[in-house]
Amino acid sequence: MIRKAKPESGKNSISPGEEILYTASIIHEQNRFQTQEELLAFRFSREEDAGILLVDCMFGKACILIRSGMGSVFQVRFLLKKTKKLMDSYAKTNSMQVRNYSSTLAWFHTYLDENIEKTRHYLEKTAEITDIICVSELAKIDEYFSIAANIYLEWGQFDEAAGLLLQSIGICEKHLEITAYARRQLDLLEHLAEVYHFGRHDEKCQAVLTLLETKSYCSRVS
C-alpha cells in the first residue's frame, strides 16, 4: 500500500482531530482510484505541477535579478541553467515555461551579457512559441509584442520597437467592440508615444498623443 508521509510524533505531534483528518484524506485518495497504477499516475501529475510551479518561480527570480541590476552574469546564468534542467524534466516542448525561458534570455542578453544578436534570436524563439500557445490576439500582444517592444526600446532600436507597437495597435483596432482590446490600445498608444519621444520623432510623438487624447475622450463618453 502507498502511504503519505505522516507527521512525526513528539514535541509537535498532531492532535487527535488532525489525526482523523489525515486518515480520512488517505482513505479518500485511495478510494478515488481503481488501481495502484492510477494512484501513482495521479501522484506523479501532482509532482509535475509542483515542478512547473517551481520553474515559474525561478524564472520570476531570474527576471528580478536581471531587470533590477542586482544579479551578476554568473549568478543569473547559474540560476537559468538550473531552471532549464528542471524545465526539461517537467515542461512540455511548446509551453509557457519554454516561452518564458526564451524571453528571460532576451532580457539577460539586453541587461547583463549584452548581445543584440542573441537578443534577437531569443525574441524570435519567443514569438514562435507565442504563436503556438496563445489562444487570443490580446494574449499575443501581452506575451510577445509588448515585451519585445520594451526590449528593443532598451537597445535604442526605436524603429523596431515602434513597428511592434503599431502592429499591436492595428490588431486592437480590429476588435474595438471588445472593451479589453479598446483599453489595451490606449496603453499601446501611450507606449508608442514614449518610443517616438526617446527616438526624437517629435512630430510623430505629438500625433500619437493627439490620437490618444481623442480616443481617451471617446472611451469616456461612450
Last residue within a domain, chosen from 70, 100, 121: 121
In this prediction, residue 2 has a pLDDT band, given cuts at 50, 70 and 90, of very low
Residues composing the chain: 222
The percentage of the chain sitting over the pLDDT mark of 70, rounded to a whole number, equals 77
Any idea what DSSP says for residue 178?
S
**One domain for residues 90 and 165:** no
User: Domain range for residue 90?
Assistant: 15-121
How many CB atoms neighbour CB 205 within 10 A? 18
Domain count, the chain: 2
pLDDT, tens digit, 9 for 90 and up, residues 55-108? 888 889 999 999 998 999 999 999 999 999 989 988 888 899 999 999 999 999
With a cut of 80, say whether residue 161 has pLDDT above it.
yes
* DSSP secondary structure string for all residues of 19-88: HHHHHHHHHHHHHT-SSHHHHHHHHHHHHHHHHHHHHHHHHHHHHHHHHHS-S-HHHHHHHHHHHHHHHH
In a domain, 4, yes or no: no
With a cut of 50, say whether residue 125 has pLDDT above it.
yes
In a domain, 126, yes or no: no
In a domain, 10, yes or no: no
Q: How far apart are CA 218 and CA 83, in angstroms?
A: 46
In a domain, 217, yes or no: yes
pLDDT, tens digit, 9 for 90 and up, residues 13-43? 555 555 555 555 554 454 554 555 554 454 4
User: What average pLDDT does this structure show over 196-212?
Assistant: 96
